[in-house]
């Protein structure tokens, strides 16, 4: 049985990464590179936003 399947290969960080996409179901198979720097940066930014919201609620919550 022939299905529409897309195959992509790209170079990132000196390694070749391959991705297969099933055109009927949309299922994606493959591994992707993770950047520890970006993951840590996103986590720190999320925590900073959460702390800022909590501080604003605590500071201005008594004005009601």
Say whether both 62 and 38 belong to one domain.
yes
Q: Residue 63: its pLDDT value, please? A: 61
List, for residues 18-49, the tens digit of each pLDDT value: 999 998 888 999 988 888 999 999 999 999 99
The whole-number pLDDT of residue 33 equals: 83
User: Domain limits at 62?
Assistant: 34-64
Q: Residues 4, 21: one domain?
A: yes
What DSSP letter does each residue of 2-58 carry, written as one string?
---EEEEEEEETTEEEEEEEETTT--EEE-----HHHHHHHHHHHHHHHHHHHHHHH
Q: What is the pLDDT of residue 1?
A: 57
In a shared domain, residues 45 and 62: yes
Task: Give me the chain's average pLDDT, please.
Answer: 88
């Amino acid at each position: 049985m022939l299905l529409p399947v897309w195959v992509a290969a790209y170079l990132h960080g000196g390694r070749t990464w391959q991705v297969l996409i099933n055109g009927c179901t949309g299922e994606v198979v493959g591994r992707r590179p993770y950047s520890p720097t970006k993951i840590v940066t996103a986590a720190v930014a999320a925590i900073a936003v959460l702390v800022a919201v909590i501080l604003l609620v605590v500071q201005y919550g008594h004005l009601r």
